[in-house]
């Protein structure tokens, strides 16, 4: 075995050791996190007396997601729903908050430049705006195009 080979072997072993340790650390850590999240979820759901099926998000998880992604709380989202009469602001489709299908749940629409929340949209409208890169002129010309080819 040459000098280089020994070095390579040593590096390999140390990387294996490193990976093993990291895996262990990660495993322990996530297990700890998971338990903590479970506990907090229980607390939160009990406090607000909410019972959801296992396929749905718990209120706690949703609240954490909303806060980290858009900086709003679940309460603010609920107020927005009331203000919008539980309907999409563009196509007026009614939302089904507890639907297991994302299509029927409200989606938080925000401006990608300022990060400001614009409102709650259905999945299709929200994706539509995203596909048009939030561009008013693109959307207007799409509308003109559809109008030109109407039947
Ligand atoms: Zn819509």
CA of 117 to the centre of ligand 1 (A): 16
CA of 124 to the centre of ligand 1 (A): 6
Across 21-30, 62-71, 95-104, least confident range? 21-30
CA of 148 to the centre of ligand 1 (A): 23
Q: Residue with structure tokens 């340790």?
A: 21
Please say whether the dihedral angle defined by the alpha carbons of residues 139, 143, 149 and 151, taken in this order, is positive or negative: positive
Q: Please give the structure tokens belonging to residue 81.
A: 């729903």
The 8-class DSSP code of residue 109 comes to E
Q: Residue with structure tokens 């996190």?
A: 33
For the segment 75-120, what is each residue's pLDDT rounded down to a tens digit?
899 899 999 999 999 999 999 876 667 778 899 999 988 989 999 9
Residue 4 has pLDDT above 60, yes or no: yes
CA of 106 to the centre of ligand 1 (A): 9
**pTM for the structure as a whole:** 0.60
Q: Please give the structure tokens belonging to residue 130.
A: 């995203």
User: Which among 115, 119, 120 has a CA at the least distance from the CA of 105?
Assistant: 120
CA of 29 to the centre of ligand 1 (A): 40
Report helix angle 74-83 to 59-70, nearest 10: 90
17 vs 139 pLDDT, higher one = 139
Q: Please give the structure tokens belonging to residue 59.
A: 């209120």
Q: Which residues contact 103 (CB under 8 A, 6 or more apart)?
A: 122, 123, 124
């Amino acid at each position: 075995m040459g000098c280089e080979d020994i070095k390579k072997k040593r590096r390999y072993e140390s990387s294996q050791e490193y990976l093993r340790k990291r895996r262990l650390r990660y495993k322990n850590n996530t297990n700890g996190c998971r338990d903590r999240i479970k506990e907090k979820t229980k607390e939160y759901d009990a406090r607000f007396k909410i019972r959801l099926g296992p396929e749905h998000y718990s209120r706690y998880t949703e609240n954490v997601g909303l806060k980290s992604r858009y900086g709003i709380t679940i309460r603010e989202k609920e107020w927005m729903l009331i203000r919008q009469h539980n309907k999409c602001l563009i196509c007026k489709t009614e939302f089904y908050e507890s639907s297991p299908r994302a299509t029927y749940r409200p989606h938080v629409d925000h401006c990608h430049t300022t990060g400001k929340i614009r409102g709650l949209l259905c999945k299709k409208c929200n994706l539509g705006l995203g596909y048009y890169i939030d561009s008013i002129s693109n959307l207007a010309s799409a509308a003109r195009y559809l109008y030109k080819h109407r039947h």
